């Protein structure tokens, strides 16, 4: 049974998640709702959410026509098109006392439809200055944070490897996320095929799933690994909701994306005390700094392998980068900071100040 959420009269914010499959947006909601809930009444709504998350029950939906006890309206905080549109309908057609907030992570020109949806929002948040550059409306910038109680270094990395079924005697390099070309999983596989034969003390772990439209892509990756004789050393472990356990089993993380809106995986790795090799997409060049790893141009398998190899051979480099990565994540990207900055946007909206 999920924990009881705030009474509907006390619920001030609703965080919809209308995509069942696990994604970065879903992960953001799962982490943020409990953190924001420490200071205001917030409920999630939608499929595919974990049982512990406080949720809006379907039978409570009609109560959204009433005003909350302590504010002039509730806030519907959308993060996708499929969540903005219902908010517009509830506010403008059903005349519910709602105001709409949208968080945009995209770093490409929005479609005309998305621009129209965004124009109907009462406040807009960009997850980075790069994302903000693609917005045609006033906005606030709030970068993502990480739950440091969930993502933290392992007390013993060998024990952490053992706990997820990996050989504790071998060092592990990971690449986590959806298996698809935009995530650069093929670039990581190509780099591993080049590097692992020269570095017998290492294994590679690929966590994530391929949606049906990318099944052939994933099958080809596994075939290439098998043809290289590396099936025992390049492990495809599927999708895991307890992915933090897999980060703690790593010695190096690689984010080889060709495109990314924000990209949480480098931050998750850094919070786990793992250095990062990342491509210059999303906000990776703003995150992987101060000695926390290496950032390279995207879509270059040879360049990726060249950036990875020093970390496989130089333990002192890896140790320094791990310490720098953890320090950067703890100082600049705590989840509490993100929650406080989002809640401040809500407060300005409730106060009648212009946010957009």
**Beta-carbon count within 10 A of 23 CB:** 16
| Residues 296-338 pLDDT 10s | 999 999 999 999 999 999 999 999 999 999 999 999 999 999 9
* 17-21, 229-233, 290-294: least confidently modelled range: 17-21
- pLDDT score at 261: 75
Which residues pair with residue 175 across a beta bridge? 206
Which range marks the domain in which residue 161 is found? Answer: 157-332
pLDDT over 90 (residue 1): no
Please check whether residue 174 lies inside any domain of the structure: yes
Question: Which secondary-structure segment (H or E) carries 194?
Answer: helix 185-195
Q: What is the pTM assigned to this prediction?
A: 0.84
Same domain, 186 and 314: yes
Q: Under a CB-based contact definition with an 8 Å cutoff, are residues 298 and 258 in contact?
A: yes
Summarize the confidence of residues 143-160 as an average pLDDT.
95
284 with 343, same domain?
Answer: no
Three-class SS state of 97: coil
Q: Which of these, 142, 91, 96, lies nearest to 343 by C-alpha position?
A: 142
Kindly state whether residues 133 and 210 are assigned to the same domain.
Answer: no
Nearest to 188 by CA among 243, 253, 237: 253
CATH number of the domain that residue 279 is part of? 3.40.50.2000
The first and second tokens of residue 331, run together, are 């100082």
The radius of gyration computed from the CA coordinates of the chain, to the nearest angstrom, equals: 21
What total of structural domains would you count in the chain?
2
């Amino acid at each position: 049974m999920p924990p009881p959420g705030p009474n509907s009269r006390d619920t001030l914010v609703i965080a919809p998640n209308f995509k069942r499959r696990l994604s970065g947006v879903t992960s953001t909601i799962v982490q943020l709702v409990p953190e924001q809930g420490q200071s205001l009444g917030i409920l999630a709504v939608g499929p595919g959410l974990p049982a512990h998350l406080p949720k809006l029950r379907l039978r409570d939906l009609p109560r959204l026509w009433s005003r909350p006890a302590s504010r002039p309206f509730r806030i519907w905080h959308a993060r996708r098109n499929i969540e903005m549109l219902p908010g517009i309908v509830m506010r403008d057609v059903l005349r519910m006392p709602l105001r709409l907030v949208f968080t945009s992570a995209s770093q490409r020109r929005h479609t005309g439809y998305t621009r129209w949806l965004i124009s109907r929002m009462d406040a807009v948040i960009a997850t980075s200055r790069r994302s903000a550059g693609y917005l045609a409306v006033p906005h606030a910038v709030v970068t993502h944070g990480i739950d440091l109680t969930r993502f933290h270094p392992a007390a013993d990395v060998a024990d952490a490897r053992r706990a997820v079924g990996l050989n504790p005697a071998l060092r592990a390099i990971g690449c986590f996320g959806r298996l698809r070309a935009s995530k650069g999983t093929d670039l990581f596989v190509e780099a591993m095929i080049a590097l692992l034969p020269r570095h017998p003390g290492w294994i590679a772990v690929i966590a994530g799933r391929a949606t049906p439209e990318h099944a052939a892509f994933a099958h080809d990756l596994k075939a290439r690994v098998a043809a290289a004789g590396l099936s025992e050393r390049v492990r495809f472990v599927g999708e895991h909701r307890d992915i933090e356990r897999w980060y703690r089993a790593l010695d190096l993380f690689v984010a080889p994306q060709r495109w990314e809106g924000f990209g949480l995986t480098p931050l998750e790795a850094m919070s786990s005390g793992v250095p990062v090799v990342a491509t210059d997409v999303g906000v990776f060049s703003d995150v992987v700094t101060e000695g926390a790893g290496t950032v390279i141009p995207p879509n270059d398998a040879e360049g990726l392998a060249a950036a990875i190899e020093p970390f496989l051979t130089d333990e002192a480099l890896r140790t320094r980068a791990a310490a720098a990565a953890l320090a950067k994540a703890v100082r600049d990207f705590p989840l509490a900071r993100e929650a406080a900055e989002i809640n401040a946007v809500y407060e300005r909206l409730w106060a009648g100040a212009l946010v957009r």
